[in-house]
Amino acid sequence: MNETELAYTSAVDLAAMIRKRDVSPVEVAELFLTRIKASQPALNAFLAIAGERAVAEARAAEALVMRGGADLPPLLGVPYTVKDLIDTEGVRTTYASLALADNIPAADGVTVARMKQSGAVMLAKTTTPEFGHKPMNEAPIFGKTHNPWDLQRTCGGSSGGSGAAVAAGLGPLSIGTDAGGSTRIPAACCGIVGIKATLGRVPHDIAPDAFGNFANQGPMARTVADAALMLQVLSGSDPRDPHSHGLPDGNYVAAARGEGDLKGLRVAWRPRMGNRLVDPEILAACEDMLSVLRDLGAVVEELDEPLENAEPHWLVITQSLWVARFEHLLDKWGDKLTPTLARGIKEGADYTAVELQRAVVWRTQLFRRVQQWFGQHDLLVTPTLARTALDIDHDFYAPVRIAGEEAGSIRQNWYPYTHPFNMTGHPAITIPCGWMSDGLPAAFQIVGPLMGEERMLRVAAMLEAARPWAHKRPSVPGLNV
């Protein structure tokens, strides 16, 4: 197997090869570190490269392999990357902000600690907009991250560096975060898999509002099986996250085998979620996925009842929290903060307590409405984005164009499908559903009932088997395809 083939080997297969001693964890880590450095001029997907830590963890993995035994951890020697909103012991963690440019955490965040316990090898910290505040992957501390399928397009955000890295063969797994779509948007832009699990399924140990939280940490990978294995490692309660307690365990690895058929499965299809325009090419690609579901025995029904766009209510809650978290930075760092973040903090300061509570009430109403949908259907499916990746220089406050027509604001019109399920806590996975005429991937979102990850993953794996995507590879300057 040549180095390029090894770089695109799935995490599941790589773990098996390492266990059989077909490949050395140290050689694997060194290969990916070399690729990461070679990719930086073109993609700019990393804020910090953890070379010393990676080699040390790879050597420890190799020692375990050589010792042998049946108790080897599930991701032993498998490389991964981490979004720079998650703490990493001894490795620079900036939150993409100049205000934290020299921050070196004393301990790993819970998800990183679990990956380490599973034997995985941490390679690097991936880029994100400052404090993860928007879906365009750029910040004063690093510049812009490019989409590996087209360097003139955004990779999405806020887990954009992770999306670009996985798609470009710079590590088979990455930990992303998702408070409004931040795992699913870049996964969709970059043609990979992204999971936002049931709220609390993967604990969030640093959420500033633990009780009102709707942010998540979770897997990004090229295949459903890899994402499921990673979810198996990351899930489970943590004393710092009140939402993480009492959730039953699931067998996600088994679910991702995609066995059997879908006879009797009731699927609701929502082509719109409070938006007007969707690219016809994307709708056609999603309709093809619906045809696969029908062929497998599922009953698919369009759910077209009117729905208010969730973004205005999400924005009140989110920007109010930005004020509480970041307002103190305006005086000292105002001219060095990302302008869109500074503007968002100032906008948040104008909301009243009553407006905030109305948004919280609306969130509850949305939750109950979605629960009603799942009373009639087993799964809900949507596009993930209403169009492919935007131009990398697109002004965040400028309207987006969809199918040649001006649609309106980015959040409400490009990704109206993601915010709602952060607010309700339901699990969602995005998978590729084809490459469009502009050469960029489109994506299909599957939403499950609360704690319905196994059902969601099983269907995603069956769709992957029918319409595979992991064989597709972008051509990135500095890297061999």
Kindly indicate the confidence band of residue 69, based on its pLDDT and cuts at 50, 70 and 90.
Answer: confident
- What residues pair up with 430 in beta bridges, in sequence order? 194, 445
Q: What is the pLDDT of residue 68?
A: 86
Closest CA to 168 of 356, 269, 35: 35
Q: Are strands 146-147 and 150-154 parallel, antiparallel or unpaired?
A: antiparallel
pLDDT tens digit sequence for 381-403: 999 999 999 999 999 999 999 99
133 near 158, Cβ under 8 Å?
yes
Q: Is the pLDDT of residue 70 over 90?
A: no
Verify cis geometry, omega within 30 degrees of 0, for the bond prior to 24: no
Q: What percent of the chain has pLDDT over 90?
A: 98
Catalytic residue list? 83, 158, 182
Q: Is the pLDDT of residue 1 over 90?
A: no
Under DSSP, is residue 48 helix (H, G, I), strand (E, B) or coil?
A: strand
Q: Could you tell me where the DSSP H helices lie in 89-152?
A: 110-117
In angstroms, the CA 461 to CA 455 distance is 10
At the topology level, CATH places domain 3-466 in Amidase signature (AS) enzymes (3.90.1300)
pLDDT tens digit sequence for 428-441: 999 999 999 999 99
Kindly indicate the confidence band of residue 91, based on its pLDDT and cuts at 50, 70 and 90.
Answer: very high
Measured torsion, CA atoms of residues 382, 148, 83, 130, in degrees rounded to the nearest 10: -90
- Burial 7-39, CB ≥16 within 10 A → b, else e: bbbbbbbbbebbeeeebbbbebbebbbebbebb
Element (H, E) at 154: strand 150-154
Q: Is the pLDDT of residue 167 over 80?
A: yes
Q: What is the pLDDT of residue 155?
A: 98
In angstroms, the CA 194 to CA 253 distance is 15
Q: How far is CA 42 from CA 29, 135, 161, 220, 449, in A?
A: 21, 20, 12, 21, 40
What's phi and psi for 143, nearest 5 deg? 100, -130
Q: What is the pLDDT of residue 98?
A: 98
pLDDT tens digit sequence for 178-233: 999 999 999 999 999 999 999 999 999 999 999 999 999 999 999 999 999 999 99
189 near 219, Cβ under 8 Å?
no
pLDDT tens digit sequence for 6-34: 999 999 999 999 999 999 999 999 999 99
Tell me which DSSP letter residue 122 carries: E
pLDDT tens digit sequence for 315-344: 999 999 999 999 999 999 999 999 999 999
451 near 235, Cβ under 8 Å?
no
Helices then strands, counting H and E runs in the chain, come out as 17, 17
171 near 165, Cβ under 8 Å?
yes
Q: What is the pLDDT of residue 481?
A: 64
Residues 133-153, mean pLDDT to the nearest whole number:
98
Closest CA to 201 of 192, 213, 185: 213
In angstroms, the CA 314 to CA 135 distance is 15
Tell me which DSSP letter residue 203 carries: -
Q: What's the token pair of residue 93? A: 């963690």
Q: Where are the beta strands (DSSP E) in 362-454?
A: 379-383, 400-402, 405-408, 428-435, 441-447
Measured torsion, CA atoms of residues 195, 196, 198, 203, in degrees rounded to the nearest 10: 100
Q: Is the pLDDT of residue 307 over 90?
A: yes
- What residues pair up with 301 in beta bridges, in sequence order? 268
Cα dihedral sign for 301, 388, 157, 409? negative
Q: Where are the beta strands (DSSP E) in 204-348?
A: 216-221, 266-269, 299-302
